[in-house]
Chain A
Amino acid sequence: MTRRTTAKTLLAAVVATAFSAFTPAFAWEPTKTVEFIVPAGTGGGADQMARLVQSIIAKHNLMKQNMVVVNKGGGAGAEGFLEVKGAKGDPHKIIITLSNLFTTPMATGVPFNWKDLTPVRMLALDQFVLWVNKENPAKTAKEYIELVKKAGDGKMKMGGTGSKQEDQIITVALQKQTGAKFTYIPYKGGGEVATQLVGKHVDSSVNNPIEAVAQWRAGNLRPLCVFDNERMPYKNKVAGDMSWNDIPTCKEAGVDTDYVMLRGIFMAGGVSPDQVKYYVDLLEKVRQTPEWKKFMEDGAFNQTAITGKEYADWVAKAEKLHEGLMQEAGFMAKK
């Protein structure tokens, strides 16, 4: 009896192994460690998201192979993008993007384009909020812009992360829309910008929600408007009796400007549809976990998450948009 059971189990195991050996014919799976490349340094927004994805995958055993996060932030991310561009056909490398997917090649002339990569899926869109110090007399975006205009061109300082990247692009778009003129001061990281604003070394910032939320809750900063075409959906009270949802859009506030940043995943060029599908599904599983949902709410992300052709079209449109903004601002690299 015992022997037969053992034999049966053994048989079952053999059959299972045989089947699992065949599975690659049905669906592709990674056969070695997957490198998750972050085209930015450790500790930034993209890095956090990548490490969260890695942690969730490890915790819930969503993938048989390991995933490692590799930071390649040199040259405003060019290092990372060039690496993936050079890994044509390699299905074991994925990369998370910031807006530097568009801005870096335009501003530096480093030869790469998102078309060198295979779009996998959008994970979320990162929001930008116009922040001022709590002691700033302006209570609305409109009032603040009036203050900037009254102070004179270049007298008020806008702090942001990096140069010729998303924060400066928003600043330029805001200037174009309203006619106010800021002096833009680039810093190395978002947390640094928020602190500089609290310390009144700059007059305003366009920090992501997650970069400034702690200072908002502590009553040191005031959000004026969000650069999106609709309000953030999160209605839980965050700071005092304010929720993310209570922040008006910039359009409502009378300074019609919008900008969201892509947090999307790409693979190298020349990979098969099977391989893309694997990662699309994997990341969908990640999106369904409670940890991911909590992170989205903490950071007040826009949870749009499209795939396939819809995603590629979105990226193409975003590229056009950036090209226009960069050209107008005179940020394009000289040929």
Chain B
Amino acid sequence: MQEIQSLMGGFAVAMSWFNLALMLAGVSLGVLIGVLPGLGGANGVAILLPLTFTMSQQPGGATSAIILLSCIYWGALFGGAITSILFNIPGEPWSVATTFDGYPLAQKGRAGAALTAAFTSSFIGALVAVILITFISPIIARFALRFGPPEFFSVYLLTFSAFVGMAKGAPFKTIAAMMTGFALAAVGIDTVTGQLRLTFEIPALLKGFDFLIAVIGLFGIGEILLTIEEGLEFKGAKAKLNMRVVLETWKELPRYWKTSIRSSAVGCLMGIVPGGATPASFMSYGLAKRMSRDGEEFGTGKVEGVVAPETAAHAAGTSALLPMLTLGVPGSPTAAVLLGGLLIWGLQPGPLLFVEKADFVWGLIASMYLGNIVGLIVVLTCVPLFASILRIPFAIIAPVILVICAIGAYTVHNSMFDVWLMLVFGVLGYVFKKLDYPMAPLVLALVLGDRAEDSFRQSMLGSQGDMGIFFANPLVGTITSAALLLLFWPLISRAIAIARGRNGRGG
């Protein structure tokens, strides 16, 4: 096994005290960045890029530099879950789906369990992805090359199909909310024609609606307003505050092994393709809800509902580095910044990187193992600390959260307009909740709408308007069919039931 040998070499590079200290520092910074909404992994890495420049110019320094930056990324992946669970505020886009069950769990006083499940699943997702990268990266890289616009569109359709049909409540409200998400996603410049859409000559609208602004407002501010209406306190203050909760949750986790495997697979696929960690988390949550025995109770605070999106998000986030290294295509915004970093340091990501800079690549891969272990230890030991935040009286923590939201909204684009927008979304979130408009379809449409439309229209340009392109080869045909099957499953299953019923009566 040549890989094992290379990997051992990598461990030798990554295992210096200096590098281990960098990992610890990187992961801790990353967690902090992940916790703060707005200041995401991509921003965090970009901000620290100049810091690593000097480091990268020393011999062997490029490995240390990438270790520091990638560990910030792992930290951010871990950290995104914390505010999602505690306050219903997703610190990162990929932790939106974590709020669906994580926050109800915290309200029930099980914040510790939710956090432990989230961190542990993140770790497992990452581990699966790193193992994949270690052993079969050339095969994966070739697979990723097969994805053109029609394939991307079919993957987005699959994500969407996995998730819709879940929303309960009034169908027309779901449609209104979802379509609003699509409409907001269309605001700004249109990639395919370069025209400005729905901007009405207002400069602030040029950059479009950022997913994070909407999510901070709808989920975070909206939740605070609802909490206030009920009286001034957070539920779940009686969270257990010792390390035993970690062990207890670990005992429960093996039960969800099917979900873990499925979510890792979804995550790796979406990371490699690259479809991104956010769609991966939504798709995985949707599939888990459909396939789990407790699927009906998802959304009320099931540990499994935390396991699914977190495993997938971390698997996708980690495997997104693979197309970056082997193809020079970033699988996520953070990977895009890391890629820029490599170029600035004078490295050329691409097929030859594994050959020419084997030390660097295997050092990085080894640091993925180590960094995630370090990260898991850091965040798990902090579980009681995080959970205890819920004990702080509402009148102290609420203004601090509002301040964090304001700073977060500002840092997304350095724009005050976004802070106001966040408040508007906050009011909208409050009204949505009270009138039973579902929010998840809106945010999913907002995050996928733009990309799905781009890939659809790119496909149409390529095929000159022929829809057959979505079935043109086995790969795209399979994904499209699976997506359509999932989308119309409620109708199909009803038809099957009716057919069976008739047969029953007939016989």
Contacts and interface: CB of A to CB of B under 8 A. Distances in A.
Contacts of A188: 191, 454
B149 interface: yes
Interface stretch (A40-48, A113-121, A223-231, A305-313): A40-48
Contacts of B145: 195, 198-199
Contacts of A163: 190-194
B330 A191 contact: yes
B300 interface: no
Contacts of B478: none
Contacts of B413: 72, 74, 79
A217 B462 contact: no
B464 A48 contact: no
B188 to A, nearest CB: 6
A184 B328 CA distance: 22
Contacts of A218: 350-352
B431 interface: no
B195 interface: yes
Contacts of A110: 196, 203, 206
Contact of B461 (A44, A185, A214): A185
Interface string A168-207: 0000000000000001111111011011101101100000
Given A78-B206, A213-B348, A185 B462 contact: yes
Nearest to B330: A43
Contact of A198 (B50, B196, B327): B327
Contact of B189 (A75, A184, A185, A291): A75
A74 B207 contact: yes
Given A70-B414, A191-B339, A298-B346, A199 B194 contact: no
Interface string A75-116: 110110010000000000000000000000001111000000
Given A55-B49, A78-B206, A195 B189 contact: no
A217 B352 contact: yes
Contacts of A183: 461-462, 464
Given A74-B188, A75-B206, A42 B333 contact: yes
A169 to B, nearest CB: 11
Contacts of A199: 145-148
Taking residues whose C-beta sits less than 8 angstroms from the other chain, chain A's interface range is 35 or more
A125 to B, nearest CB: 18
Contacts of A210: 343
Contacts of B464: 154, 183
Contacts of A43: 330, 333, 336-337, 339-340
Given A214-B351, A214-B352, A196 B344 contact: no
Given A42-B333, A185-B458, A107 B206 contact: no
A72 B414 contact: yes
B57 A291 contact: yes
Nearest to A211: B328
A52 B343 CA distance: 9
B343 A298 contact: yes
A162 B350 CA distance: 23
Interface in B346-362: 346, 348-353
A315 to B, nearest CB: 22
Nearest to A163: B194
A198 B336 CA distance: 19
Given A59-B50, A211-B328, 15 more contacts: A41-B336, A58-B53, A59-B57, A69-B46, A70-B414, A74-B206, A75-B189, A76-B189, A110-B206, A186-B458, A194-B328, A199-B148, A214-B350, A294-B346, A299-B343
25 contacts: A42-B46, A43-B330, A54-B50, A55-B53, A74-B208, A75-B199, A76-B194, A78-B206, A108-B189, A110-B196, A110-B206, A162-B194, A163-B191, A164-B193, A164-B194, A189-B336, A191-B328, A191-B339, A195-B328, A199-B145, A201-B149, A210-B343, A214-B352, A217-B348, A298-B343
In the A-B complex, the 9 residue pairs with the closest CB atoms = A214-B350, A74-B207, A43-B336, A75-B206, A201-B148, A163-B194, A218-B351, A55-B53, A164-B194
